[in-house]
Amino acid sequence: PRHRQVLLRRADVVVLRSDPEEVRRAVVRQPGRGSDKDLFAEIYRNQLSKRLLYETSASEDAEKSMIAKLKMKCGAQFTSKLEGMINDLSLAGDLIKEFREHCDHLDEGRSALGGIDFSVTVLTTGFWPSYQVQDANLHPQMQKAIQVFHNFYNMRTQHRRLQWIHSLGQASIQGKLNNRRHDLIVNSYQALILLLFTKDESHDLAFIQNATGLDQQLTKKLMMTLTISKYKILTKSGGDTKAIEDDATFTPNDSFQCPHRKIKIPPPTTEETHNKERVEEDRSIAIEAAIVRIMKMRRTLSHQQLVTEVLTQLSTFKPNPKLIKQRIEHLIDREYLERDPNQASTYRYLA
């Protein structure tokens, strides 16, 4: 996955411009060699999601080309979620056009959005990685814009529920530091914090945590991105240059210097490259599905025959026989299978 990440990112594409197609072929060969294709798929999906949502991909054509090669090598089941992610973004573009037309026809026009340029990307839960959802005390302008979108979306469909992932949101905030104007590109949580500093006031950690509604651990991570990292938009009290103290106070950095008008401040890194629990859960489901398919067709099988057939059917990973035995026991408990009363090592399918 590391080679593929370098290939498809805009910043690094020039390094591989000589023959990017050969690198794509090399990466596609990797998942076919091992027995953990599902783990590769989960890591690839997480990296693809970051490139798509943060707009760091070289091009949509490059992503589609890679997915097409993975599909040929590993099958449609392997790439169905990846294709769904690409399709989601295409549909999201059409949706936001409809939303803007909707706003133009409102009595207040686009001022109904609270005076901000507001857009939404709607994703399908099953395609994308799982994201941590944490509520926050949104700025009144954000709340107003979100409510307008809710009204618009509910007119289109009443059978879907929107869940807002603010950690993936992005905001552009105009600020003046050291008599110089800057456009700060931040995520939604960072924006909520910066909007507390509209003047030269100072706030302590407890105030910021209470005002934003975020937990202390996340608040500290966010404050680190604004005070300790490369762009020190705020200054903090205390002598620790690598951590945020519980009693720290923060003030706008009047000595901040940066030649660029637009500054992109990275959010805190909280996500793993893949979700181990999700992979394990998906594997358990796949094993049980294979067992039921086999037993429904064969009706009666010995333990060794069943394990052998399950291993033959599972192409994306090779589970430990002990794990297969655990899933068999689980299916017996749920009365999908039963042991032959005359032969304990033989299973029978229960219709």
Range with the poorest average pLDDT among 44-53, 224-233, 241-250: 44-53
Asked whether the beta carbons of 133 and 163 are under 8 A apart, the reply is yes
Taking 90 as the threshold, does the pLDDT of residue 221 lie above it? yes
Mean pLDDT of 99-104: 90
Q: For 304, phi and psi rounded to 5 degrees?
A: -65, -40
Q: What angle do CA 260, 262, 264 make, to 5 degrees?
A: 110
Question: Using CA atoms, how far apart are residues 63 and 59, in angstroms rounded to an integer?
Answer: 7
> Would you say residue 287 has pLDDT above 60?
yes
Of 8 and 57, more confident = 57
pLDDT the model gives residue 33: 46
Q: What is the mean pLDDT of residues 65-70?
A: 86
pLDDT of amino acid 212: 95
Q: What's residue 72's pLDDT?
A: 83
Task: Report the pLDDT averaged over residues 136-163.
Answer: 88
The answer to whether 214 and 293 are in contact (CB under 8 A) is no
Rounded distance, CA 122 to CA 169, Å?
12
Tokens of 299: 């009706």
Average pLDDT of the segment spanning 300-308:
91
Region 161-181 average pLDDT: 88
How much is the pLDDT for 128?
A: 87
The backbone torsions φ and ψ at residue 263, rounded to the nearest 5 degrees and listed phi first, read: -130, 125
CA–centroid distance for 139 within its chain: 24
With b meaning 16 or more CB within 10 Å and e meaning fewer, what string describes 265-301?
bebbeebeebbeeebeebbeebbbebbeebbeeeeeb
For 227, half-sphere exposure in the C-beta direction (CA atoms, 13 angstrom radius) is 26
User: What share of the chain in percent tops pLDDT 90?
Assistant: 28
* Mean of the per-residue pLDDT values of the chain: 82
Rounded mean pLDDT, 148-157: 89
For residue 3, pLDDT over 50 is answered with no
b vs e for 48-57, b when ≥16 Cβ sit within 10 Å of the residue's Cβ?
bbbbbbeeeb
3-state SS assignment for residue 301: strand
Q: What gap in Å lies between CA 223 and CA 217, rounded to an integer?
A: 10
DSSP string, 123-188: --TTTSPP---------HHHHHHHHHHHHHHHHH-SS------GGG-EEEEEEEETTEEEEEEEEH
- In the sheet that 234-236 helps form, which strands lie side by side, from edge to edge? 203-204, 249-252, 234-236
Q: What angle do CA 123, 124, 130 make, to 5 degrees?
A: 85
Higher-pLDDT residue of 315 and 160 is 160
Confirm if 44 and 129 have CB atoms less than 8 A apart.
Answer: no
pLDDT over 90 (residue 250): yes
**Which has more pLDDT, 320 or 260?**
260
Q: How far is CA 252 from CA 181, 211, 222, 255, in A?
A: 13, 17, 15, 9
Q: What is the pTM of this model?
A: 0.68
What integer is the mean pLDDT of 69-78?
Answer: 80
C-alpha–C-alpha distance, residues 247 and 237, integer Å: 9
- Evaluate if residue 345 carries a pLDDT over 60: yes
Burial class (CB in 10 A: 0-12, 13-18, 19+), 113: buried
The helix/strand/coil state of 115 is coil
Instruction: Determine the Cα–Cα distance for residues 101 and 303; give it in Å rounded to an integer.
Output: 62
Q: What is the pLDDT of residue 36?
A: 64
For residue 22, the SS3 value is helix
Span between the terminal Cα atoms of the chain, in Å: 43
pLDDT for 18 equals 39
Is pLDDT larger for residue 220 or for residue 23?
A: 220
Please report, for residues 154, 158, 219, 226, the alpha-carbon distance to residue 267 in angstroms, rounded to integers and kept in the order given: 31, 33, 12, 9
